Amino acid sequence: MSVAAEAPFVLRSDVAGVTTLTLNRGERFNPLSEEMLATLQAEFKAIALDDSVRVVVLAAAGKAFCAGHDLKQMQANSSEAYYKSLFQQCSKLMLAIQKLPQPVIARVQGLATAAGCQLVGMCDLAVASENASFAVSGVNVGLFCSTPAVALSRNVSRKQAMEMLLTGDFIDAHTAMQRGLINRVVSPEQLDACVAELAASIIAKPAVAISMGKQLFYKQLEMGVEAAYQLAGQTMACNMVDASAQEGVQAFLEKRRPDWS
């Protein structure tokens, strides 16, 4: 067994409320194999129950963030039943990221293609190096990126999403930011500092407000405007009676810093 095969698919580190999950198949551009998907799913399931985790950073080893599904593994299991099961597994992971109580920040240091681009799109925030590039390039091998289209079309405009899906062409990090796929572009040397800055800003706020807000944000996007306002009002009312909001408002009125300890 090779060293690469023995190594964990995902590395986890926990520092001061920030959990970093690092895709650990850099020599293969971190494909979303069955094993990688299962490992990430297990990690997110555990994190969802861990109140000590305030922010999750999704990172990757090597030159690429994620090159999408493992095409060799898919080719070796060429049945419709297998493909349905695989894409179900992938969709379950993507939804787990969105349903996670904690915000997830993608740290994108290199290319993110197909399901790798989908992974970036499903994270709540994304910071990219100037070296990063993005594509939904399945169409180049005859496979329209249908599941990545779900995440892509919820981040960028329809025309821009369709152009990427129909051509398979890459866009650079600055274009990805202009189109809304990512939040910030920095030099490779500044990538970790920028991610840390975002994480610290989130951790400085009450966990209950962040969790409730994230859940509301994604639910209301799929609703009509009237239902969205009804749900938003209910969420704000529940948030307002929480002790952290009461303390925050009182601190504002008293012109002091809130004590959320």
Q: What is the mean pLDDT of residues 73-79?
A: 89
CA 228 – CA 26 distance, rounded (Å): 41
* pLDDT digit string, tens, across residues 28-38: 999 999 999 99
pLDDT of 3 > 50? The answer is: no
Is 71:33 a contact under the CB 8 Å cutoff?
no
pLDDT of 1 > 50? The answer is: no
Both tokens assigned to 49: 């129950």
* Cβ atoms within 10 Å, residue 103: 21
- Domains of the chain are 3-203 (3.90.226.10), 207-253 (1.10.12.10)
Both tokens assigned to 197: 């800055």
pTM: 0.94
